[in-house]
A and B are shown apart, each in its own frame.
Chain A
C-alpha cells in the first residue's frame, strides 16, 4: 500500500523531475484544469496519510521542486502558465506536512488555485488567451473581473489570511535554517512573480483593439463567495488555532 501511495503522491504532489510531466499535462488540460487543481492536492493528501514518514531525500526534493517552479514563475508568459508553476511549487511543499494530517486539508490548499483557474478561464474565453504580453488593463476595462483576478492572485501568493498563507505558516520551522531559507526564497518568488502578473494583466491602460466584457452580477457573486472562502478559511483556521491554544492554556 505504501508503494502505491508513493506513486500516487509523486504524481499528485509532483516532485522534480516528474513535476515536468504534471506541468505539461496541466497546460494541456485547459477547461479541466480547475478540476485538476482541486483533485490533485485532495488525492495527494489522502495517500500521503498512508506514508509513515517520507525519507529526508524526498523532503529535500520537494523543497527543490518548490523553489524551482517558484523561480520559473518569475518569467511566466501567461496567467495560465504562471498558475501552473505556482501550483506545482505550492503543492510539492505538501510533502513537508507531518504525516497524519488528513485529506480535508488538501481541499483547503486547493481553494486559491481553483479561484485562480476560474479567473484565468474567464480571461481566456474573453480575449482568446491569458498571455501577459497581449492582455492588459483589465482593472480599468472590466473592473469586476480585474477585482476577482487580483483577489485570486493575492490568494495564491499567500497574502493573509488566504489558505496558501496558512500552508506556508504551517510549514515554517524556525529552528531549521536550511528549510527556512528555501521557504523564504519560495515566498519571495511567489510575491515577485505575482506582482509582475498583476502589473501586466490587471494594471495598465486597456487596449483599444480589445473588447472588455465585464462579469455579470451572478458570476461576480459566485466568485466573491469563493474568494470569501479562500480568505475566510484561513481566518477560521486562525480562530480555531487561537481557541485551541487558549483551551490548552486553561488546562
Chain B
C-alpha cells in the first residue's frame, strides 16, 4: 500500500496547490508542506515494509507498477526527506514571489517525477519519470518568468537532459527486444539467469551515457554550474537530488553490468576526468553558488567513478551524503551572500594570488616535516580504517583506486592547513587528522554496511568488481606510476613553497596560460554557444530561402 500511495501524494499536492493555492501563499505552502510530511512518513512506512517482507512488486495497473527493493527504498526515503527540507526552506525564501503557488506545485511535481523514477517497476514508467525530471527542472529553473538569463540556462538544462534521455530509451528497447517485457524484475531475472543478449555491452554503454547527462559528466556538465539563476531552493534540490539520478540509474541496471564491462570502464574514465575538472574549476570560481555548482560536478564525477570501479553501493552512499551536505551548503549560501554584502572587505581570491601574484602565506615549520606528514598520514589512516572494518582492500582494484583517492584527498586537506600559516599549526593539524580519521572510518564502515544492505548477494557484487577491473599488471603499473607522480608532486610543491616561489620562472608563463584557459572553463560552454549560434543561423538561412514553403 505505501508503495502505491507514495508517488501520488506529491502529484495530488501539486494539483491542489495549483487549484486552491494561487490566491493565498499561506494556503499554498500549507497544502504542499502537509503532503511533503505525509510523503516522508509514507516513505518510512515503505522502508519498514521492505525490512519486513524483503523485495516485492506491487501494481496499481499493468503500467503503474512499482518494484520495491533496497535501492528503491533507500532512494525514496532520501528523496522524500530532502524534498521536505527544501519545501520547508522555500516557505520564507519564496515569500512575496509572484509565482509562489506555481513554485510549490512544480516542486511537488519534481518530487513526484523522482519518486516515480526510483520506485518504478516498469522500464517505460521509469523512463517517463526520468524524462519528466528534465522537463520540470526546466520550468523550475525558469521560475522567474521575467529573468531572461534563467530561461536561457534552463533551456540548456532541458536540452542536455533531452539528449541524455535517448540512450536510456534505446537501452530499454534493446532489453525489450531480448526479453519481451518492460518489467524490471523480469528483465533482472532474465539477465541473472544467464540468458544474455549479444548486444548487452551496448546496453551497458547506453545506460552510462544516459547517466552522464543527468549527473553532469564531462562534456555534458555545462548545464549544472550555469543554472544558478534559478531560485536557491531549486539549486538545493537539484544538487542534492536530481544530479544523483545517474548513480541511481547505473545501480538500477546493475544486472546488466553483471555481464557487461565496457560501460563500467567508460564510467570510470569519464568520472575521473569530470572529478578532476570539476574540482579544478571549482577552485577558480569567485561566485559562491557557481563554485558550489562545480563542486557538485566534481562530486558527481567521483560518484560515477565509484560506479566505474564496481563500488555501486558506495556510489549510493556517496550520493545521499553529498545530497545532504550540498543541500545544507546551498541553503546556507544565501545567508553568506547576504553577510558579504554588508562587509566591503572582500578578500583577494586565493587561487589568483597563488598562480599569478605568486604570494604564499608564511610558515615557520620545516617543509620536510609537513611533506612527510602529508604523504604518509592519510595513507596510514585509510589503510587502518579498512583494516578495522575488515575490508580486504587489496582484493579489489576498485577498492584500491578509492583508497588512492582517499589518500590524495587527505593529503590535500593537510596541505591546505600548511598553506593557512596558522599560529598553532600542530594543534590544527591534530584536529584535521582526527576529523579525517572519523570521516574515513565512517565512509568505510557505512559504505561497507550499505553494500551488505543493497547487495546482499556477495557473488553478484564480486562479479561486478571483477568486470570493472583491468589487467592486473597494467593496473599495478598505473598505481605505482601515479603514486610516484603524486608523491613527487607534493614534494615539489613543498620545496617551491619553502623557496618562496610557486614554480621555476621558465614555467611561469605556462602556468598563467593554464590559469587563463581554466578560468574560461576550457571553452566547453563557448563551443556549445558557437555551435548553437551556427545552427540557428543555418536554420534561418534555410527558412529565408524557402520562405513560407
Which A positions have Cβ atoms within 8 angstroms of B? 20-21, 23-24, 27, 71-77, 81, 137, 139-140, 154, 159-161, 169, 172, 174-175, 180, 184, 187-188, 191-192, 195-196, 199, 202-205, 235, 238-239, 241-243, 245-246, 248-249
- B63 near A242: Cβ-Cβ < 8 Å: yes
Least CB distance, A74 to chain B, in whole angstroms? 4
List 5 contacting pairs A-B, 8 Å CB cutoff, sorted by A: A137-B145, A140-B98, A174-B174, A199-B148, A239-B62
Closest partner residue, chain B, to A200 (CB atom): B151
Task: Give the contacting residue for A20; candidates B64, B125, B159, B546; CB below 8 A.
Answer: B546
Report how far A87 CA is from B132 CA in the complex, Å. Answer: 23
- A residues within 8 A CB of B538? 71
**Interface membership of B329, Cβ < 8 A:** no
In the complex where A172-B169, A243-B62 touch, is A188 in contact with B155 (Cβ < 8 A)?
Answer: no
**A21 with B540: CB separation less than 8 A:** no
Q: Is the CB of B158 within 8 A of A199?
A: no
Q: Is the CB of A159 within 8 A of B62?
A: no
Q: How far is the CB of A68 from chain B (nearest CB, A)?
A: 8
User: How far, in angstroms, from A161 to B130 measured CA to CA in the complex?
Assistant: 12
Looking across the interface, which residue of chain A has its beta carbon closest to that of B540? A75
Known A23-B549, A188-B159; contact A199-B152, beta-carbon cutoff 8 A: yes
A154 — which chain B residues lie within 8 A by C-beta?
A: 135
Complex Cα gap A188–B164 (Å): 10
Interface contact A75-B152, CB-CB below 8 Å: no
Q: A74 to B536, alpha carbons, bound, how many Å?
A: 7
Closest Cβ of chain B: how far from A168's Cβ, in Å?
9
B124 at the interface (CB under 8 A from A): yes
Q: Is B173 part of the contact surface with A, judged by Cβ < 8 Å? A: yes
Dominant SS among interface residues on chain B: helix
A188 and B181: CB pair below 8 A?
no
Q: A160-B127, A169-B169, A242-B62 are in contact. Are A139 and B145 (CB under 8 A)?
A: yes
Complex Cα spacing A203 to B177, Å: 42
B27 at the interface (CB under 8 A from A): no
**4 further A-B pairs in the complex, CB-CB below 8 A; given A27-B548, A77-B543, A243-B62:** A74-B535, A195-B158, A239-B64, A243-B63
Residues of chain B in range 57-79 having any CB-CB distance to chain A below 8 Å: 61-65
A195-B155 contact, Cβ under 8 Å, with A154-B135, A160-B128, A175-B177: yes
Q: How far is the CB of B277 from chain A (nearest CB, A)?
A: 25
CB closest residue in chain B, given A174: B173
Q: What's the nearest-Cβ distance from chain B to residue A243, in Å?
A: 4
| Contact A195 B159, beta carbon cutoff 8 Å | yes
**In the complex, A134 Cα to B177 Cα: how many Å?**
48
Which residues on the B side are within 8 Å of A161 (C-beta)? 128
Q: B91 contacts the other chain (Cβ, under 8 Å)?
A: no
Residues of B within 8 A of A (CB): 61-65, 98, 122, 124-125, 127-128, 131-132, 135, 138, 142, 145-146, 148, 151-152, 154-155, 158-159, 162-163, 166, 169-170, 173-174, 177, 180-183, 186, 199, 535-536, 538-540, 542-543, 546, 548-549
Is B148 within 8 A of A204, CB to CB?
yes
A195 to B174, CA, bound (A): 29
B124 surroundings in chain A (CB, below 8 A): 238, 241-242
Instruction: Flag if B62 contacts A199 (CB, 8 Å).
Output: no
Cross-chain contact A246 with B159 (CB below 8 angstroms): no
Determine whether the beta carbon of B155 is less than 8 Å from that of A196: yes
A246's closest neighbor in chain B, by CB?
A: B62
- Taken together as a complex, chains A and B put the C-alpha atoms of A108 and B538 apart, in Å, by 33
A154 to B186, CA, bound (A): 32
Cα distance, A208 to B127, chains bound together (Å):
42
Residues of B contacting A203 with CB < 8 Å?
142, 145, 151
Contact A172 B145 (CB under 8 A): no
Chain A residue contacts of B162, Cβ below 8 A: 187-188, 191
Residues of B within 8 A of A205 (CB): 145-146
Cβ of A235: which chain B residues have Cβ within 8 Å of it?
A: 63
- Choose among B146, B173, B542, B546 the residue that contacts A172 (Cβ–Cβ < 8 A): B173
Closest to B129 in A: A160
Determine the distance from Cα of A165 to Cα of B392 in the docked complex, in whole angstroms.
Answer: 49
Contact assessment for B182 and A174 in the assembled complex, using a CB-CB cutoff below 8 Å: no
Question: Is A195 in contact with B138, judged by CB distance below 8 angstroms?
Answer: yes
- CB of A71 within 8 A of CB of B127, answer no
Which of chain B's residues has its CB closest to A21's CB? B549
| Closest Cβ–Cβ distance, residue B102 to chain A (whole Å) | 9
The answer to whether A245 and B182 touch across the interface, beta carbons within 8 angstroms, is yes
- Chain A residue with Cβ nearest B64: A239
In the assembled complex, the Cα of A205 lies from the Cα of B99 at a distance in Å of 13
**Least distance between B197 CB and chain A CB atoms (Å):** 11
Report the minimal beta-carbon distance from B260 to chain A, rounded to whole angstroms.
16
Residue of A nearest to B142 (CB): A203
Q: Which residues of B contact A81 (CB under 8 A)?
A: 548
Q: What separation, in Å, do the CA atoms of A205 and B125 have in the docked complex?
A: 36
CB pair B174 A187 closer than 8 Å: no
State the CA gap A242–B131 with chains docked (Å).
Answer: 19
Q: Which residues of A contact B536 (CB under 8 A)?
A: 74-75
CB closest chain-A residue, reference B125: A238
Partner of A75, one of B61, B145, B543: B543
Contact A191 B146 (CB under 8 A): no
Contacts of A238 in B (CB 8 A): 63, 124-125, 128
User: Nearest 3 CB-CB pairs, A to B?
Assistant: A20-B549, A242-B62, A75-B539
In the complex, the chain B residue whose C-beta lies closest to that of A183 is B166
CA distance A187 to B161 in the complex (A): 12
Residues in B neighbouring A246, C-beta threshold 8 A: 62, 183
Q: Is the CB of B159 within 8 A of A204?
A: no
Is the pair A239, B61 in contact by a Cβ cutoff of 8 Å? yes
Partner of A159, one of B131, B152, B170, B540: B131
Whole-angstrom distance between the alpha carbons of A238 and B124 in the complex? Answer: 8
A172 and B63 contact, Cβ closer than 8 Å, known pairs A192-B159, A199-B152: no
Is A24 a contact of B151 with CB atoms below 8 Å? no
- Asked if A199 meets B163 with Cβ closer than 8 Å, knowing A140-B146, A204-B146, the reply is no
Question: Do the beta carbons of B539 and A72 come within 8 Å of each other?
Answer: yes
Instruction: For A157, give the chain B residue with the smallest CB separation.
Output: B162
- Interchain CA distance A249-B190 in the complex, whole Å: 13
Given contacts A75-B536, A191-B162, contact A24 B548 (CB under 8 A): yes
